[in-house]
A and B are shown apart, each in its own frame.
Chain A
Amino acid sequence: MKPGNKYQVVVVGAGHAGIEAALAAARCGARVALLTLSNNSIGRMSCNPSIGGLAKGQMVREIDVLGGVMGLAADFSGIQFKILNKSKGRAVWSPRAQVDKRIYEQYVKESVVQATGIDIIEGEAVAPILKKGNIAGVKTVDGGVISANAVVLTNGTFLNGVIHIGQKKIPAGRMGETRSIGITESLEEIGLQHGRLKTGTPPRLVKNSIDWNKLDKISGDNNPAPFSHFHKNFKPPNVPCYSITTNRSSHDIINDNLMLSPMFSGDIRGVGPRYCPSIEDKINRFSDKNSHRLICEPEWFNSDQIYLNGFSTSLPEDVQLKTLQCLSGFENIQFVKPGYAIEYDYIYPYQLKLTLESKCVPGLYNAGQINGTSGYEEAAIQGLVAGANAGLSLKGREPLILNRAEAYAGVLIDDLITKSTPEPYRMFTSRAEHRLVLRYTNANRRLANKSLECGLIDESKYVVLAAQISATDKAIAECENSVIPDQVNQLIILSGNKPIDQKIPLKILLKRPGVLLSSFEGTTISAPAVSKPYKDEILLEADTIIKYHGYIDRSNRQINKILKSDMVKLYPRLDYNLVVGLSTESREKLCSIKPETLGQAMRISGVTPADISVLSIFIAKQERVSRET
């Protein structure tokens, strides 16, 4: 390491958040130091061997349009691709991929190495350095100093991390990797508040100890869709996963040993995620369920190590083994590593601005699990936003702020600040009140311009995105073309609809469920002029815009209303004690969160519509007074 070096941005941590942060800051023209505990753990996938999934897949698409690496890496290392939620309406369709963890890590590391303006430094930060209240760099464990104008903290689960396996406690950031100490304490010193969370990971199984014939095979889509928008060709493998279900006797073993789990014995204070509960939690809370589905996922291509999705646990290793041995196919099961729970510190994210910069320490940015989120995708998009804003602010440029109606990333960051969720935050489509307009197929349209303006993508990438958007528009325009009964009736009948008796514009016909635009490619409409992997998707998106027209319009009307309240700025120095008529709860929340806009204030839990009326009257009055004086 090169102590005393002067950088513009230091990124602490090289996980999914840190990497996107470093790359984004560098794309915005900053000189970046990426500080990692170990050169070998850059871009590590610490938990599941997959990228994307419900709501997360949409975020990977957003990362890709914003020039990030996650989508490209997942496409490059993917071994099975699938669009989830196919039976439930296309606004919630989400891409997901099983990936080869090793290739993924290699690809990501290589991207950082190749990027201009990033130095990778092996070392451990112990505290941020402040000069006159502004960030000035970080102190390292060996007493060195890395100076910088901005610091992005992406420490993941390493802040005072403690691993729990049964009664065993191991101080660590990940299994076998040292944790970092000192950062939480030094942040506390500069006035930031923190809490503690818990997350878990399932055991890794020895491949040859599984009787695969007794498991059910799950394959990916035959017609895979990539995450990234920038491929010419896309031909990934389709490696299957296998499912197995738990049974009563395995549940009995867990119930008998419940008190050995630190979750139940009280050893773990941190709050775990309800949506990704440990197996002991699931069995305890939903005792009426006779079985739970588990999925065996290869950690890499031809992996001898199998990730057991759905069996996150902190029970003692022997109990984990005994439980799994009850399952047909797992009679002789062996572990590479047992499952474990990890507790770590996080910094309450309400202390951040929408740029992810700290409200009280200019130049300090936090992203990823340090903000209380869970998941690779959630971390990556925060890293990207934080890194971009660190870079943009140094150049004196407008920040990258995404609103709730243009990106899941906007929902994520706004929620972190206003909701103060007491458990690890994972994205869901239902968190996005405008999800009908946040589709994986329109991330290009939503974000391409902003991305270009911020310098996150170059002209060549923008041209690709613009071509996809205009191909969609062209397809929609061609749906004004009419179709005649003879030409389409056979198809309509097959789709379960009533035949037509006279010629009608295609767009009218498409309103019928089951009649798909793709069936008219090459006849009524021309093939989209984009590279091959995206042709189907362009038609799908055009079809969606036509079919959902009324709903999209209604959503947009709601959005416009809400964006108006997001335009009303609340100044950080506003003294809520002077606002007559607020309830005590809102007053306290508003004082501590200090929302940046009226819209944000509205979304704080406990702040009622009545409080918002009171507040808006107060602001209007103040503005009038300041205009008149």
Chain B
Amino acid sequence: MFNVGTVVAQSTPYGYGGIGIVRLTGPDTVKILGDLTNRSKDELGFIKPRLAYRWIIFDENKEPFDDAVLTLFKGPKSYTGEDVLEISCHGSPYILKYVVDLCISYGASPAGPGEFTRRAFINGKIDLMQAESVANLVSASSHRGVNLALNCLRGKLSKEITSMRDEMIDVLSYSEHLLDVSEEDLTTANISYIINKTAKIHEKVQKLIENYNTCRIMTYGAVVVLCGPVNSGKSTLFNSLVGSERAIVNREPGTTRDLLEALIIIDGVPITLVDTAGLRETADDVEMEGVRRARDYMNKADLVCVINDITIGSALVEVTDYTLLKKNYIVNIYNKIDLIPKKDIEEFRGLFKPGLFTSALTGVGLDELKNHIVTTLDLESNSSENFGITTPRQYNAIFKSDVAMAAVLEIAEQPPVQLELVSFELQNALNSMEDLLGTKTADEVLNNMFDSFCVGK
């Protein structure tokens, strides 16, 4: 498609495997294929795209080197939009590195990170959101996350946003038509048309925003932070939840000075569990740093579990930091119930803020906690749409569009209507959607205006 050189990279992870894949893309792909397999131009002329060929790869001295399976994808019908060659070699790291080096000696250069996807984007094979979903798909940590990323890659989200953008262009063209061509005075019918159409799109945008949380968590996992006073049993709880002895547990207060993270999956929901240093004033520099990080993490968390030592009982101190957090993101946990008589538990229930009673040591109350975490995350598990925005960039763009549409509705409902301000906000909403798609449509409004409405004298 265009002359920016041919790049090569090993596509499978480093290390030993049954097979490993080397991928090439760019204008010299076919030539390099010939060089690798010792085949003439004429022979290559007969090669069928998308068909696997079992051919020998020759080394630099033209001696047979590996028995490989090669598949050629001719551009533009390929992932990158340019010629792509996939070489399945035997999975020794030496073989794979050697084949990559061979390709480089034949004129390819090493691909940068994400280069294949970047080329696909630049060649218009995928839009920005699809490009992002490739990364999501590769790193997806739950079944639903895979689903979301795949749907996004297949363009389901792009299609939805594109259709919203098209509707937006319609409303904007209508408004521009009123401003620029129509000689009639503004009527209430004109205004309600704009309001109705905008409200409809706005509803869809809000739906995407509502689902953002779920989609993000399904893709990247929810951050659940365990925090609380020193020696309340955070690390024991962390270990019980993770199911392995990862954190060092010690009776001396202030043992966990740094953060510990682990990925666990509860009911298919990926969760990054974070164990933090106990919150207390301290003179120890290292511990102080741990406390600072703990506080940072609490700000980022999707859910904060505040763990209290129930044996301290009536002396339970509310750490002021917690009250800064929004209520619905907090679970109060009263730990170490194995150390008090069963009958006292009910008594405590009345005294404390609502919460869960656990024994991290014996495992009592952990299932309840797991359930509680998943419910509190408020995932739209029943959401019929299996796609949504997942990255902060996408969220930011859609949020701006949401704000602009809300402004449209506000201005349009306030007589006398300043129609050019309505248009201004519609344009802002449209721009944000285009940011989301990574496209621009500067001329579409005018074209649409001319084509759909009878204009002019």
Residues of chain A whose beta carbon lies under 8 Å from any beta carbon of chain B:
54-55, 84-92, 274-277, 282, 285-286, 289, 292-293, 295, 309-310, 312, 419, 428-431, 433, 435-436, 496, 513-514, 548, 551, 555, 577, 580-584, 587, 603, 605, 608-611, 614
Contacts and interface: CB of A to CB of B under 8 A. Distances in A.
Given A55-B180, A609-B440, A610-B122, A282 B454 contact: yes
Given A285-B454, A610-B121, A92 B414 contact: no
A583 B455 contact: no
Contacts of B181: 54, 275, 428
Given A84-B183, A87-B416, A89-B418, A583 B176 contact: no
26 contacts: A87-B416, A88-B178, A88-B419, A89-B418, A92-B419, A274-B455, A275-B181, A276-B457, A277-B455, A285-B454, A429-B180, A430-B423, A430-B445, A430-B449, A433-B427, A496-B415, A513-B414, A513-B416, A514-B416, A548-B421, A577-B3, A580-B4, A581-B4, A582-B122, A605-B443, A609-B438
Contacts of B445: 430
Given A55-B180, A310-B457, A433-B427, A91 B420 contact: yes
B123 A583 contact: yes
A494 B423 CA distance: 28
Contact of B438 (A87, A295, A603, A608): A608
Max chain B C-beta neighbours (<10 A), residue from A87, A433, A611: A87
A584 B2 contact: yes
B186 interface: yes
B442 A605 contact: yes
Given A54-B180, A430-B449, A608-B438, A583 B124 contact: yes
Contact of B179 (A88, A577, A583): A88
A156 to B, nearest CB: 21
A429 B454 contact: no
Interface string B367-382: 0000000000000000
A295 to B, nearest CB: 7
B394 to A, nearest CB: 15
Contact of A89 (B122, B419, B456): B419
B443 to A, nearest CB: 6
B122 A88 contact: no
B185 to A, nearest CB: 4
A436 B179 CA distance: 13
A583 B2 contact: yes
Please report whether the interface of chain B is mostly helix, strand, loop or mixed according to DSSP. loop
A274 B424 contact: no
B451 interface: yes
A285 B122 CA distance: 37
Given A87-B416, A433-B427, A289 B454 contact: yes
Nearest to B454: A286
A85 B184 CA distance: 8
Nearest to A577: B3
Interface of B: 1-5, 118, 121-124, 128, 176, 178-181, 183, 185-186, 414-421, 423-424, 427, 438-440, 442-443, 445-446, 449-451, 454-457
A286 B455 CA distance: 10
A610 B130 CA distance: 14
A89 B2 CA distance: 48
Given A274-B451, A275-B450, A430-B176, A436 B424 contact: yes
A112 B2 CA distance: 54
B2 A582 contact: yes
B179 A430 contact: yes
A430 B178 CA distance: 11
B420 A587 contact: no
Given A87-B416, A419-B443, A430-B180, A580 B455 contact: no
Given A286-B454, A431-B446, A582-B122, 13 more contacts: A54-B179, A54-B180, A88-B417, A310-B457, A312-B457, A430-B449, A435-B420, A581-B118, A583-B123, A605-B443, A608-B438, A609-B438, A609-B439
B420 A584 contact: no
Given A430-B445, A513-B415, A583 B122 contact: yes
Contacts of B419: 88-89, 92
A577 B118 CA distance: 19
Contacts of B5: 580
Contact of B418 (A496, A513, A582): A513
B428 to A, nearest CB: 8
Contacts of B118: 581
Nearest to B124: A583
10 closest cross-chain pairs (CB), A and B = A286-B454, A89-B418, A274-B450, A89-B420, A310-B457, A430-B176, A87-B185, A88-B419, A428-B180, A87-B186
Contact of A610 (B418, B438, B442): B438
Nearest to B434: A609
Contacts of A580: 4-5
B439 A429 contact: no
Nearest to A279: B457
Contact of A277 (B414, B442, B456): B456
A428 B424 CA distance: 15
Max chain A C-beta neighbours (<10 A), residue from B419, B420, B438, B439: B420
A430 B451 CA distance: 15
Contacts of B457: 276, 295, 309-310, 312
Contact of B1 (A92, A551, A584): A584
Nearest to B441: A605
A587 B179 contact: no
B415 to A, nearest CB: 7
Contacts of B414: 513
B183 to A, nearest CB: 7
Contacts of A436: 420-421, 424
B183 A551 contact: no
B158 to A, nearest CB: 15
A138 to B, nearest CB: 36
A320 B162 CA distance: 45
Nearest to A435: B420
A551 B186 CA distance: 22
B162 to A, nearest CB: 15
A235 B3 CA distance: 67
B37 to A, nearest CB: 28
B119 to A, nearest CB: 8
Contacts of B178: 88
A556 to B, nearest CB: 13
Contacts of B450: 274-275
Given A581-B122, A605-B442, A608-B439, A429 B179 contact: yes
B42 to A, nearest CB: 28
A98 to B, nearest CB: 14
A293 B179 CA distance: 18
Contact of A587 (B2, B121, B185, B440): B2
A282 B455 CA distance: 8
A127 B238 CA distance: 87
Contact of A430 (B186, B438, B446): B446
Contacts of A610: 121-122, 128, 438
A420 to B, nearest CB: 10
A390 to B, nearest CB: 31
Nearest to B447: A274
Max chain B C-beta neighbours (<10 A), residue from A55, A293, A312, A608: A608
Nearest to A555: B424
B170 to A, nearest CB: 14
Given A274-B450, A309-B457, A430-B423, A608 B2 contact: no
A91 to B, nearest CB: 4
Contacts of B438: 608-610
Given A275-B456, A583-B123, A587-B2, A92 B442 contact: no
A217 to B, nearest CB: 15
Contacts of B451: 274
Contacts of A583: 1-2, 122-124
A589 to B, nearest CB: 13
Max chain A C-beta neighbours (<10 A), residue from B2, B178, B438, B443: B2
Nearest to B185: A87
